[in-house]
Amino acid sequence: MVLTGKTPENKDKQVLARNSIDNICLPKDIPFEIPSTGIMQRPDILKSEANLRYAKINIDLARKDFLPNINIFGIIGFESLSIRSISNISKFLSGYGALLQENIFNGGQKRAVLKQKKFQYEQLFQNYQSAILTSLQEVNNALYSLKTDFSNDQNNQNRLSIQADNLNLVNYKYKEGLASRLDTIQPQRNVFLIQQEQTRSKTGYLIDSINLYKALGGEI
């Protein structure tokens, strides 16, 4: 009830529509071999790539901080109180030297910031590689389970068809008086057990299809 967005307290008044597993058709067009590039649309992969691009931008900005930030018009405007002093080179050099001295004293801090940004980028890159490995493993596991349950479902369908024919033959003999009622119990039990196995394998195949769809980021 919670997963469908309904109130659990009113479960007696709200009836959930149910469907039979027999009415659900298995998807036939799911490939059993998928290229490794299929994982590139996963949300975690896209997020890791975006984080890497953002970290790379931070590194570039940290590197630009090492360049001297000189605004010539700002220096002349503040250092020159009259039009005659604009040509005074000593005031310009003093202003330039002050800026250069400021950059020297802040150099250690800027190197630390750059080193931190590089470390963050390396850590994000490792997370990106880990996300790729995890994605490949999830896709491989989903494909393996899909193949296994599909093969089991096909075998169970064949077994069910054989046992159903056997049960029909025994029932025919029973109607014709060639077999007793006790002779029909075991064939009925065999059909029932195989039906259970076929339901489990079919359900497993459907779940595997959803897991594969999820592992590929919503695309198959």
Out of 1.20.1250.20, 1.10.260.40, 1.20.1600.10, 3.90.45.10, which CATH number does the structure's domain 38-215 have?
A: 1.20.1600.10
Tell me the HSE value of 207 on the side-chain side, using a 13 A CA sphere: 10
Span 123-136, pLDDT tens digits: 888 888 888 888 88
Where are the chain's structural domains? 38-215
Tokens of 177: 């008086």
The model's pTM: 0.61
Burial label, 104 (beta-carbon count in 10 A; 0-12, 13-18, 19+): exposed
pLDDT of residue 168: 92
